[in-house]
Structure 1
Amino acid sequence: MPVTTPVPNGLPMERTAGPFDPPREISALRDSRPVSPLNFPDGHQGWLVTGYEAVRRLLADTRFSSRLDIGILHVPYEIPGMPTPTEPSPQIPGMFVAMDPPDHTRLRRKLIGTFTVHRMRQLEEHIVAIVEAQLDEMSRLTPPVDLVRAFALPVPSLVICELLGVPYADRETFQADFARFMVKEQPLEEKMGAYIALNTYLGELVTAKRAAPGEDILSDLARQEDLGIDELTGIAFLLLLAGHETTANMLSLGTFALLEHPEQLAALRADPNLLPDAVEELMRYLSVADIFYRYATEDIELCGETIPQGSTVVVSLLAANHDPLRYDDPDTLNLHRTARGHLSFGHGIHQCLGAQLARLEMRAGFGSLLRRFPSLTLAVPAAEVPLRTDMNIYGVHELPVTWDTTVH
């Protein structure tokens, strides 16, 4: 390992290379040592995996466990009030992203039929209608407006609420609780308060659906007697969080990226058939769900490095998706690129269940927004857009935009 690339103390999080690229320290580490030691704030000697090939292999290897209850999972940044962990965390019922087979297999199998490509395509017209209705509302506002609140957050929230059977009228409450829960360095007391509030709300919701099921995903799951209320609550938590947080941030950060790359934006406006490839490239380029964790259940060799049993392994999907060994000129947004094979939806048994739904929402969202608002521009300098470097899912806190109302 070159002496010019020291082992980081904690995970570099500041976007030193700009709002869309990995932090410079992480890119340098990937290029010199894609499987690298990482010093954690609590003294743990863990690992950071940043190379495309290494990340792909790791995510496909179930010896790298997703469970939190078999070993101590260390966090690569400071959390105020968080004591140094001395024992594993208890497993949370229904939280299948933090499980390994066979528990993971049992729960995921119950959901696979829900998110089939065919079923998602049946939803396509309805998603387009939701997008158009939200843009109707936005067009009646006087610019400048915050695109996050006016468009990027409402669209996926409404879609996932309808799919799951969550009252959309409750969105202000659950969105605020999820926002508190997702802050990286949130004091433990705040984080747990948000988690308990969400669990209480969703527990009452799935209990009501078991008593009187409707025509929605949570009702379908509630009809399955082998799922307990605590498991249903955990599943609901995951689906509601993943169903609105990730897509909302892709819509807002993706719009920011397009506005900052006018030649790419012009190419997309000129050729709407470019939209499917554009969505894949934006997914690769931005990788909003960036950091994931695994626990080494034994000594494991990964791309020439031996990761000892008991190590916490931090995975950066953003760094992997910007790996020059996988993509030419990876730090450039190129909507004509074939970005297939990107890792933004993960890989292996934990690959995102809702990938097809997210693609439909992004195609409808970007396509209609750019068509309906041809003069859309940032309302503030790019450097003033507040970035979500403090959150577990990246994006922007706000995206002030404006447009020429005389040509709209």
Structure 2
Amino acid sequence: MIPLTSTALAHAMLTAAARSSDVALSYLSLDYEEGPLGLLERLRFMSKQYAHTGTLPRWNDLYDCLLQRLQHISEDTSPHAVRKHLNNSLHHWVSNLTRYEDMSLTALSSMLTNNYSYWIIDRMSPLWPAQLRDLYLNTEDSCPPLCLWGVGDPQVLTSCDEPYGIIGSRSVNSYGRQVAFECAKDAALHGHLVISGGALGGDAAAHWGALAALDITDTPGKTVSIMAGGLKHIGPAQNNTLFQRITDSGGAIISEMTPDTIPDSYRFHDRNRLIAAYSSTLIISQAQLKSGAMNTAKWSAQMNRLIYAAPGNINTPYNAGCNNLIHEGKANILPSCTNLDSITGHHEVHDAPMSQAQESQDNKKGNEEMSEDTEVLPAESNLKLYSKKNAEESASPTFSPSSPSSTDSALELLF
């Protein structure tokens, strides 16, 4: 289990406050002078005041911070609209935080990691998928996750520079399943990471295809499944065997939401933006005109990803989405399920993730080197002194999720 950093824990609490992807909170976590730790401390203070008085204390500092960012993006930004939106958001955030007011920090960390069975990373982690930043750059009204929860091997998240997203509608027929399976197997055989959503139909076929590469080579690319809800609601249940195989084979299952988040229907569209952002190339095996796969294609187009769609029989609704994407020039035609790299122009072979034995040896070496010159924060250190710049330029203070009894002093530094 990787260590849980203080900034990742702060971002997890901010996610608990928002309960969904939130552009305003994301910008504040980037720009607030005292960084995500200071922002969380600020909101917790406001939450306590709100719980006792029913009103918000002054928040001009948050307003000025958000307004500056939004006006930098667009000179037409209305200060009045920003103030109104932030006022509504703050009531929502601090109201959600009141439920955690009486919990100790150790209890909070245990809750957010499901008793330390999940890992949490944020953008300051070297394991953070850098592609997600494109949700800031190339989309409207969207943002990257504040953090990611996961089970499985976190190292796999950055194991490939050019992941393939391979998806299909839940209602795919045997043709759509075969296309997803064969494309994913070919991608994994050439060392690529395969991203999909874990749903029935095309997504499941893609994950199984990536896993099938294990029967052919010892060093295939792995697969990552992105959930719409929290990790306590990994599903659908019909794919439980698949999910177990993903984690057992060195892949990962991730979510941007707190573990208890129910996968309501709108969250699947939010999840689709992550599949699109994470993937350098999106392959759609089969899709109807109105489907989650088509929504993912829309996100991919906004972020200038390569999109390939498998053509199909024009007389059946199963293929209408893919055929329409090709007809409108929004997707390239997928001519084959093999030799994908020659079709897409990607590098033919990527280094597969290191073996567990090699990883263990490297970690041991790294720990030995770290023990010689690691700086230990004194107990009276105040993490409020960690500005956003310091937090990004230096490693965040960490504690081991596997040792909850030893976390009290480190956690107390958060607030």
TM-score range, shorter chain: under 0.3
TM-score, normalising length from structure 1? 0.25
Which fold has the larger relative contact order, with Cα–Cα distance below 8 Å and residues 6 or more apart in sequence?
1
Greater Rg, structure 1 or structure 2? 2
Q: TM-score w.r.t. structure 2 length? A: 0.25
